[in-house]
């Protein structure tokens, strides 16, 4: 998923929607799948590889996703263990049951790498006949899955992990608001009610080890007669509880692979001081109190994403995720470092194979590790190239995200060229001290500033004038007033 989720409403011919279409054309984003890929997907639907899948259709799984989502990677069933603690059963779509190694579907997935998200639509990793149909954990259909069973103690610590291939059937497609309402009202049945109990325990475990989850709100851009307006959809507590089940599984998968001696981890170094300093200046621009003795994680946990300025700061916090990558290891030679700084633990991506290439491979390694057998040759053959493939795909996705942010901000400000704004200078180019970046106090926009004969005052407030803003043609830019 994108670090900065955005959603656009409005007519297809509106300037913002037109600019997004032009962006896809300019970046050569594939609009359709090649005929051989579609043909192979259609054939795969008729005869998936169900060898080795045990029957787990008796377990009443449910999914939690946005109401309009159809590409459902995960389903869960939660229960208490005899003697205390919990059992998490987490079913992940088994993409390998549909995708033949070296086939047209596989080659196309390696070319696309990830699902690409735009504010008005998305470009999927796999053809919709699979990703939104046969391979998706939609309610009422039997689906091949990687079934994780993770036992937790009474304090939410993982004590045992297993993963096997299984045939599963989801009973219900739930959404976050409905889940939150049922849990708050006390009407949720125990498998759903346990989501809160386990989620809170996992949150406490995260705090204890020094990890941090960013509850980044969704930005909705609405077209009205008087122009475009920005609103934030704050994530509900249920969003975070659900995310903790995925994080738990990613950490369990990393432990399995490290014990096995072969795998691929998601790693993130600690943020450099320069990035933290820039974030402090953004906090100042938004009027968010961040005393020097208070750690970043404590500041983030104290934010309320329902407040617009807090929501904007959470968006800026995603800049500290830059530098994340994938680390392959084989033959028992464990990587160092191997920690994901935000998770504060070993971690891997394995829970979204319908939307991310690497998850299919991580899942296969975990299956081999749990069964005590060798890794499939097709996985080992592809493993060394995966970090670079994922880096290229992630770079493309990040570039699209940045371009979309530029287009959206230009749409928001297109009718305000020439106006004055209060801002804080959050960055200054070392070789060009009259060029840098400002963070507006209102609206919460981050943009380039250039011009004027004096060095920009880094970290200080500055009155600025909007000089350009035209979605799809001219990025937002300011000059000193």
Question: Do the strands 474-480 and 461-470 form a parallel or antiparallel pair, or are they unpaired?
Answer: antiparallel
Across residues 122-143, what is the average pLDDT? Answer: 97
DSSP string, 280-328: HHHHHHTT----TTS-HHHHHHT--TTSHHHHHHHHHHGGGGTT-EEEE
Could you give the 3-state DSSP secondary structure of residue 159? Answer: strand
Ranges of H-type helices in 10-63 = 15-26, 35-46
The pLDDT of residue 168: 98
pLDDT at 422 exceeding the cut of 80: yes
What's the confidence (pLDDT) of residue 7? Answer: 82
The pLDDT of residue 477: 94
* Distant-in-sequence, close-in-space partners of 446: CB < 8 Å, separation ≥ 6: 282, 316, 426, 437, 438, 439, 440
Comparing 237-246, 255-264, 333-342, the range with the smallest average pLDDT is 333-342
Q: What is the pLDDT of residues 146-167, one digit of tens each?
A: 999 999 999 999 999 999 999 9
The model's confidence at residue 202, banded by pLDDT at 50, 70 and 90, is very high
**Model confidence band, residue 1 (pLDDT cutoffs 50, 70, 90):** very low
Burial readout 203-227 (b: 16 or more C-beta within 10 A, e: otherwise): bebbeeeebbbbbbbbbbbebeeee
Q: Dig out the tokens for 108 from the structure.
A: 């196309």
Indicate whether 262 belongs to any domain: yes
In a domain, 264, yes or no: yes
Contact between 418 and 479 under an 8 Å Cβ cutoff? The reply is no
pLDDT digits (tens, 9 = 90+) for 205-219: 999 999 998 888 887
CA 293, 295, 300, 304 torsion-angle sign: negative
d(CA 49, CA 77): 24
Is residue 292 domain-resident? Answer: no
**pLDDT-above-90 percentage for the chain:** 66
DSSP-based three-state secondary structure for 342: coil
Range of the domain at 232: 6-269+334-375
Query: Residues near 223 by Cβ (< 8 Å), separated by ≥ 6?
Result: 8, 9, 10, 11, 14, 16
Q: Report whether 427 contacts 450 (CB < 8 A).
A: no
The whole-chain average pLDDT of the chain stands at: 92
pLDDT in tens, 325-338: 999 999 999 998 89
Largest Cα span, the chain: 72
Percent of the residues in the chain that have a pLDDT greater than 70, as a whole number:
98
44's tokens: 């795969």
Distance between CA atoms of residues 385 and 381, nearest Å: 8
Dist CA 19 CA 408 (whole Å):
9
Stronger pLDDT, 7 or 254, i.e. the higher one: 254
14 within some domain? yes
Q: Is the CB of residue 135 less than 8 Å from the CB of residue 142?
A: no
Q: What tokens appear for 48 in the block? A: 């998936």
Task: Tell me, yes or no, whether 470 lies in a domain.
Answer: no
* Model pLDDT, residue 249: 98
Q: Please give the pLDDT value at position 10.
A: 66
| Contact call for residues 156 and 207 (beta carbons, < 8 A) | no
**Highest-scoring range by mean pLDDT, 62-66, 444-448, 451-455:** 62-66
Q: Tens digits of per-residue pLDDT, 89-127?
A: 999 999 999 999 999 999 999 999 999 999 888 999 999
- Secondary element (H or E) of residue 329: strand 325-329
Residue 206: the pLDDT is 95
> What is the number of domains present in the chain?
1
Whether 408 is in a domain gets the answer no
pLDDT for res 2: 52
Give the CA count within 13 Å in the CB-facing half-sphere of 71: 19
pLDDT at 191 over 60: yes
Q: For residue 316, is it within any domain? A: no
| Residue 437 lies inside a defined structural domain of this protein | no
Number of C-beta neighbours around residue 83 at 10 A: 7
Q: What is the mean pLDDT of residues 135-141?
A: 97
Condensed to tens digits (0 to 9), the pLDDT of residues 368-417 reads 999 999 999 999 999 999 999 999 999 999 899 888 888 888 888 988 99
């Amino acid at each position: 998923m994108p670090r900065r989720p955005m959603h656009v409403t409005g007519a297809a011919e509106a300037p913002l929607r037109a600019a997004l279409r032009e962006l896809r054309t300019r970046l050569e984003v594939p609009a359709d799948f090649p005929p051989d890929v579609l043909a192979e997907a259609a054939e795969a639907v008729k005869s998936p590889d169900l060898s080795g899948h045990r029957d787990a259709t008796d377990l009443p799984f449910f999914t939690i996703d946005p109401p309009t989502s159809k590409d459902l990677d995960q389903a869960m069933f939660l229960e208490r263990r005899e003697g205390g603690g919990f059992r998490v059963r987490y079913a992940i779509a088994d993409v390998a049951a549909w995708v033949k190694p070296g086939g047209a579907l596989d080659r196309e997935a390696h070319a696309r790498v990830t699902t690409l998200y735009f504010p008005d639509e998305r470009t999927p990793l796999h053809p919709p006949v699979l990703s939104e149909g046969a391979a998706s954990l939609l309610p009422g259909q039997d689906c091949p899955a990687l079934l994780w069973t993770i036992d937790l103690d009474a304090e939410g610590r993982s004590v045992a992990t297993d993963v096997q291939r299984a045939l599963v059937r989801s009973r219900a497609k739930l959404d976050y608001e409905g889940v939150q309402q049922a849990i708050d009202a006390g009407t949720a049945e125990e498998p759903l009610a346990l989501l809160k109990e386990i989620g809170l325990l996992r949150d406490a475990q995260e705090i204890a080890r020094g990890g941090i989850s960013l509850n980044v709100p969704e930005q909705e851009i609405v077209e009205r007669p008087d122009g475009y307006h920005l609103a934030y959809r704050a994530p509900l507590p249920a969003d975070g509880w659900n995310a903790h089940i995925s994080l738990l599984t990613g950490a369990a998968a990393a432990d399995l692979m490290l014990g096995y001696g072969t795998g691929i981890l998601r790693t993130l170094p600690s943020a450099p001081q320069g990035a933290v300093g820039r974030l402090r200046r953004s906090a100042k621009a938004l009027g968010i109190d961040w005393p020097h003795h208070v750690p970043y994680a404590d500041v983030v946990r104290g934010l309320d994403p329902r407040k617009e300025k807090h929501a904007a700061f959470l968006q800026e916090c995603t800049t500290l995720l830059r530098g994340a990558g994938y680390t392959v290891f084989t033959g028992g030679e464990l990587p160092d470092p191997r920690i994901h700084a935000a998770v504060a633990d070993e971690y891997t991506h394995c829970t979204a194979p319908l939307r991310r290439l690497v998850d299919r491979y991580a899942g296969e390694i975990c299956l081999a590790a749990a069964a005590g057998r060798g890794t499939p040759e097709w996985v080992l053959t592809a493993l060394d190239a995966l970090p670079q493939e994922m880096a290229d795909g992630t770079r493309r996705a990040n570039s699209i995200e940045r371009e979309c942010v530029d287009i959206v901000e230009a749409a928001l400000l297109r009718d305000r060229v020439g106006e004055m704004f209060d801002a804080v200078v959050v960055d200054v180019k070392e070789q060009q001290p009259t060029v840098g970046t400002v963070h507006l106090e209102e609206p919460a926009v981050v943009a380039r500033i250039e011009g004027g004969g004096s060095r920009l005052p880094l970290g200080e407030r500055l009155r600025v004038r909007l000089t350009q803003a035209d979605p799809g043609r001219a990025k937002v830019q300011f000059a000193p007033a």
